[in-house]
């Protein structure tokens, strides 16, 4: 495999990038001056070296003095009784951009199409149990995408929470409709997301 094919093969695995776009990226990179490609390589290495996953919510964050926790989990102004379970990092960014949610998050790391063990093992279910146990959450919002996988995963998450035998006062809520069926949080506009968050039940 020559260097062009090799790079195309790597880039085409990026989200939303297919072979054709990957090819365009490679030709763009070929035209870049050497110092710009060095800059890119440096930035990727820096990302790998500096970014860690938050121990509580699994959000990637730049490791700093507050070792182990991201800026949301270590913040004193967030409501620590409220937990929002989401699929991925970009959903966190979308919800944060509404500025209507002041609780904490938990990134599940994906969704499942079936309840098979090998699928479930891809998710952070054990970490979720540990996160919820021994913490006084009054409300847990299951904010997964309204796709078939998202719904299957919501059922799984709810079962998991119920099996923990927590206080009956704990509310488990969902985002209100407004997110189009089959749609994804990542692509919802701020207003839609805001009303889905406010109308949760
Ligand atoms: Zn965190």
Query: pLDDT tens digits for 158-193?
Result: 999 999 988 888 999 988 766 666 667 777 777 778
201 CA from centroid of ligand 1 (Å): 24
What dotted CATH number matches 3-53? Answer: 1.10.8.420
117 CA from centroid of ligand 1 (Å): 27
57 CA from centroid of ligand 1 (Å): 4
Pick the closest to residue 98 from 189, 199, 200, 201 (CA basis).
189
The pairing of strands 104-107 and 82-86 is parallel
Taking only the tens place, the pLDDT of each residue in 79-88 is 999 999 999 9
Q: DSSP letters of 41-94?
A: HHHHHHHHHHEEE-TTT--EEE--SSTT--TTTT-SSS-TTEEEEESSHHHHHH
109 CA from centroid of ligand 1 (Å): 13
Q: Of 3.30.450.30, 3.40.1360.10, 3.30.70.270, 3.40.50.11540, which CATH number belongs to 78-198?
A: 3.40.1360.10
CB 70 within 8 A of CB 61: yes
Taking only the tens place, the pLDDT of each residue in 57-110 is 999 998 765 578 999 999 999 999 999 999 999 999 999 998 989 999 999 999
Domain-by-domain residue ranges, the chain? 3-53, 78-198
pTM over 0.85: no
């Amino acid at each position: 495999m020559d260097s062009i094919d090799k790079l195309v093969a790597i880039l085409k695995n990026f989200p939303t990038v297919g072979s054709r776009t990957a090819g365009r990226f490679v030709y763009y990179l070929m035209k870049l001056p050497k110092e710009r490609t060095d800059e890119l390589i440096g930035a990727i290495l820096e990302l790998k070296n500096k970014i860690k996953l938050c121990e509580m919510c699994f959000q990637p964050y730049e490791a700093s003095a507050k070792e182990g926790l991201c800026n949301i989990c270590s913040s004193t102004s967030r409501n620590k009784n409220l937990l929002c379970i989401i699929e991925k990092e970009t959903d966190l960014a979308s919800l944060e951009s509404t500025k209507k949610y002041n609780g904490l998050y938990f990134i599940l790391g994906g969704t499942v199409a079936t309840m098979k063990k090998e699928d479930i093992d891809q998710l952070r279910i054990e970490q979720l149990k540990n996160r919820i146990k021994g913490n006084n959450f009054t409300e847990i919002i299951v904010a997964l995408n309204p796709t078939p996988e998202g719904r299957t995963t919501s059922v799984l998450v709810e079962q998991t929470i119920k099996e923990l035998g927590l206080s009956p006062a704990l509310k488990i809520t969902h985002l209100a409709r407004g997110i189009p069926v089959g749609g994804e949080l990542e692509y919802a506009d701020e207003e839609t997301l805001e009303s889905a968050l406010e109308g949760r039940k």
